[in-house]
Amino acid sequence: RRKPPIFFRFNIQVDMVALTFFFCGLATRFYKLAQPKNIVFDELHFGKYVGMYMKNIFFFDLHPPLGKLLISLAASLADFNGKFKFDKIGSPYDDSVPIFALRFIPALCGSLMIPSAYYLLLELGCRQWTAALGAFLILFDNAFLTQSRFILMEPMLLLTTILGLLFLLKYRNMRHSLGIIWWITLACSMVFLTFSSCIKYIGFSALSLGVVIVWRDFWGILPDKRLSNKQLLFRGLLLGGTMLLIPLSIYIAVFHVHLSLLYKAGPHDSIMTSAFQASLEGGLASITKGQPLEVAHGSQVTLRHTHGKACWLHSHAEVYPIRYTDKRGSSHQQQVTCYTFKDLNNWWIIRRPNKSNLVVTSPPDAIKHGDIVHLIHGITGRALNSHDVSAPISPHNQEVSCYIDYNVSMPAQNLWKVDIINREVEGDVWHTIQSQVRLIHVNSSQALKYSGRQLPAWGFNQMEIVTDAVLQQDDTVWNVEEHRYTRFDDEKERERDLINAEMIPLQGTKLSWWTKFSELQYKMLFPSQENVQSHMYSSDPLEWPLMTRGIAYWVSSQHNGQIHLVGNIAVWYAGTVCLILYSSLFVFYLLRRRRLCFDVDPETWDHFVNAGITLFCGFLFHFLPYFFMDRTLFLHHYFPALLFKVLLTPVVIEHIHV
């Protein structure tokens, strides 16, 4: 009797070791996940960002938004309204906050990274007991466990890094094939490594490591005579295109979602340029709508430092001290500063040198690129001036002041040339908000510059303004933010008009998505150094390998309960020892091989080298960048490097054992 034909057949293979590790991860990461019902450490920031996503309010963070978007998705599915105020660490959550949902994604990623690490070590060529040891070390490390139980980014960062490298190793083990599965494997690797980069910028270290591994592998197959020149060229172009287009597309797509969701004004607007702020719903546009577009003779303006720290050109009646603490003399002229708050003394009047009155004519006499102007301080009536006197804090630059006539041999040098640097886009006429200008001092050919340095108490701790002979700098770029036309020639009437005038909202400023994206990238990649602050739990990278200090994440105000970030000392110290052992063995083997003494067989040597490129180099790629960062660092910044150190430990143990 004939058997009926079989149309479908499924073969399911279950790795009980990996499954056991996954369930152990779930048990440790999800056990009483909603406890404590208080804000724990950086949940203060990330919870606040999630709330802003829920309310579509723009916020600024130094890291890419993918991790925050994923947590926001879980929060949205749990009907979180975002109204809870994340005010301080330790504050209790109210009933409107779905604590489990907010902590779900990090806990799930923390659980998945354990079996993923197991498969990564298997793909690296390790024995099963070695791979199991690596997963075991991750499972029982206190630091990884703690970080996985709260609204934090590291679990997502580490999981995507492991998955990206796992697919990359699978791709490398298929190096001699060139088919759709080969390309899909490489593409999956680039997708996950890009996800890592879109969660925190240190993820670019993993992406860079992946690129190095791919091109090293490509270099290794170049001598293969079975591949023609056309095949090698095609493979190289395919590799390059995949490693360029996939990361770029995903990165842009993530920020497109981010900026599309955050279209309302919020507390972080002032970090961005005036044009960016004016493009947000209810933002700067509510102040600047309806104001004249073209800056003209008689325009009353506030001049904002375009890039970096938000501050406005400012002056007041106080003068520079006759002598500074270093015994240098000043001009004793009226102080000019950059003030970080909106203020009446931020207003200036643009005047042509050949005109005495300040009233705007009809039609307005527009100021254009290359025009020479005076800038008259709106309240004191004195002209912006510079001269060959050293600036108070930056003596290598010239001082900027408002000129006071003391009847001494120091004539006014108060002419400034308008240099519109984006005139190819905005045109030659000086426009409100959109035109970016440099004000060039005519007598010295130096540009008005925000120095980034703070004046002492005599300058009310405001920021220093200087002129600099180096014109092409971001800190020499300014734009008009608020603008109105002068209606009165009388000084008292003008002052009264400045104090009482209000803007009439009409319509917002349009800004292309690419312009907003480019500006946001600039602000994120080149942050203001004023954000660098000391913290009682901050640490130095040299302290991390031996874990000389932890971080107090949460302390109960009602009982003795507390959460302290500290790693498993056996795991951390063993990893540090294995790093030293691996590098020592590698140097030893290289020297011996140079002497034609081959202590290990070629297969063992290849495995040892491949493990080093993936894990030892991975550690260096994720550890060394922090030595060049001028920012506040904490122990959790070490976790990506720690992951590679922990995974290298069983590899070294296996090598010594075998």
Evaluate whether 509 touches 433 at the Cβ level (below 8 Å): yes
pLDDT-derived band at 538, boundaries 50, 70, 90: confident
DSSP 438-460: EEEETTTTEEEEEEEEE--GGGT
Tokens 């919870």, located at residue: 47
pLDDT value of residue 399: 94
Q: Which two tokens stand for residue 46?
A: 């990330």
Evaluate whether 536 touches 542 at the Cβ level (below 8 Å): no
Identity of the amino acid at 166:
L
Share of the chain above pLDDT 90, in %: 62
Beta bridge partners of 562: 555
Give how far Cα 541 sits from Cα of 141, 207, 436, 567, 624, Å.
Answer: 19, 22, 40, 15, 8
pLDDT value of residue 531: 52
pLDDT value of residue 503: 37
Evaluate whether 157 touches 67 at the Cβ level (below 8 Å): yes
Cα–Cα distance, 346 to 326 (Å, whole number): 29
* Span 316-332, average pLDDT: 89
pLDDT-derived band at 618, boundaries 50, 70, 90: very high
**In a 10 Å sphere around its CB, with 0-12 CB exposed, 13-18 middle and 19+ buried, how is residue 19 labelled?**
exposed
Evaluate whether 351 touches 368 at the Cβ level (below 8 Å): no
* Span 327-331, average pLDDT: 87
Q: Which two tokens stand for residue 638?
A: 């070490």
Each domain of the chain, given as residue ranges in start order, spans 16-258+538-657, 265-282+505-526, 291-502
pLDDT-derived band at 532, boundaries 50, 70, 90: low
Chain segment 81-103, per-residue pLDDT in tens: 989 999 899 999 999 999 999 99
**In a 10 Å sphere around its CB, with 0-12 CB exposed, 13-18 middle and 19+ buried, how is residue 31 labelled?**
exposed
Q: What is the 3-state secondary structure (H, E, C) of 413-438?
A: CCCEEEEECCHHHHCCECECCCCCEE
- Range ranked top by mean pLDDT from 190-204, 207-221, 356-370, 505-519: 190-204
Cα–Cα distance, 635 to 544 (Å, whole number): 6
Q: Over 60: is that where the pLDDT of 461 sits? A: yes
Give how far Cα 318 sits from Cα of 138, 340, 352, 354, 625, Å.
Answer: 62, 18, 26, 28, 45
Identity of the amino acid at 242:
T
pLDDT value of residue 221: 85
* Span 110-131, average pLDDT: 95
Cα–Cα distance, 617 to 641 (Å, whole number): 10
Helix (H, G, I), strand (E, B) or coil at 526: coil
- 359 vs 256: which has the higher pLDDT: 256
Chain segment 33-86, per-residue pLDDT in tens: 999 999 999 999 999 999 999 999 999 999 999 999 999 999 999 999 989 999
Q: Over 80: is that where the pLDDT of 509 sits? A: no
Tokens 């490489």, located at residue: 186
Instruction: Give the burial string for 419-446 (b: 16+ CB within 10 Å, else e).
Output: bbbebeebeebbbbbbbbbbbbbebeeb
Lowest mean pLDDT among 305-319, 354-368, 497-511, 586-600: 497-511
Cα–Cα distance, 141 to 113 (Å, whole number): 13
* Span 584-598, average pLDDT: 89
Q: How many CA atoms lie within 13 A of 482 on its CB side?
A: 21
Evaluate whether 422 touches 435 at the Cβ level (below 8 Å): yes
Chain segment 469-508, per-residue pLDDT in tens: 999 998 999 999 888 887 655 555 555 655 554 433 334 4
Phi, psi values for residue 599, rounded to 5°: -80, -25
Mean of the per-residue pLDDT values for the chain? 88
Closest to 635 measured CA to CA, from 197, 193, 154: 154
Beta bridge partners of 315: 336
pLDDT value of residue 347: 92
Cα–Cα distance, 556 to 33 (Å, whole number): 16
pLDDT value of residue 392: 92
Q: Over 50: is that where the pLDDT of 116 sits? A: yes
Tokens 């580490």, located at residue: 158
Give how far Cα 314 sits from Cα of 154, 278, 535, Å.
Answer: 43, 22, 32
Chain segment 341-380, per-residue pLDDT in tens: 888 899 999 999 988 888 888 888 999 999 999 999 988 9
Cα–Cα distance, 392 to 465 (Å, whole number): 9
Cα–Cα distance, 543 to 540 (Å, whole number): 5
* Span 596-617, average pLDDT: 88
Tell me how long the chain is: 658
Q: Over 50: is that where the pLDDT of 313 sits? A: yes
Evaluate whether 477 touches 303 at the Cβ level (below 8 Å): no
pLDDT value of residue 563: 93
In CATH, what number does 291-502 get? Answer: 2.80.10.50
Q: Over 80: is that where the pLDDT of 583 sits? A: yes
pLDDT value of residue 265: 85
* Span 397-419, average pLDDT: 88
Lowest mean pLDDT among 240-249, 260-269, 473-482: 260-269
DSSP 607-635: HHHHHIIIIIHHHHHHHGGGGG--S---G
- Range ranked top by mean pLDDT from 9-23, 405-419, 428-442: 428-442
Share of the chain above pLDDT 70, in %: 93
Q: Over 70: is that where the pLDDT of 631 sits? A: yes
pLDDT value of residue 390: 92
Closest to 195 measured CA to CA, from 271, 115, 105: 105
pLDDT value of residue 471: 92
Q: Which two tokens stand for residue 42?
A: 């950086």
Q: Kindly give the pairing relationship between strand 334-339 and strand 463-468.
A: antiparallel
pLDDT value of residue 156: 97
Q: How far apart are the first and last CA of the chain?
A: 55
pLDDT value of residue 507: 41
Evaluate whether 555 touches 88 at the Cβ level (below 8 Å): no
Q: Over 70: is that where the pLDDT of 287 sits? A: no
Helix (H, G, I), strand (E, B) or coil at 52: helix
- 501 vs 313: which has the higher pLDDT: 313
pLDDT-derived band at 5, boundaries 50, 70, 90: low
Closest to 93 measured CA to CA, from 131, 22, 39: 39
pLDDT value of residue 309: 79
pLDDT-derived band at 115, boundaries 50, 70, 90: very high
Longest dimension (CA), the chain: 122
Beta bridge partners of 464: 337
Chain segment 136-187, per-residue pLDDT in tens: 999 999 999 999 999 999 999 999 999 999 999 999 888 767 788 989 999 9
Closest to 479 measured CA to CA, from 293, 341, 317, 297: 293
pLDDT value of residue 508: 45
pLDDT value of residue 505: 33
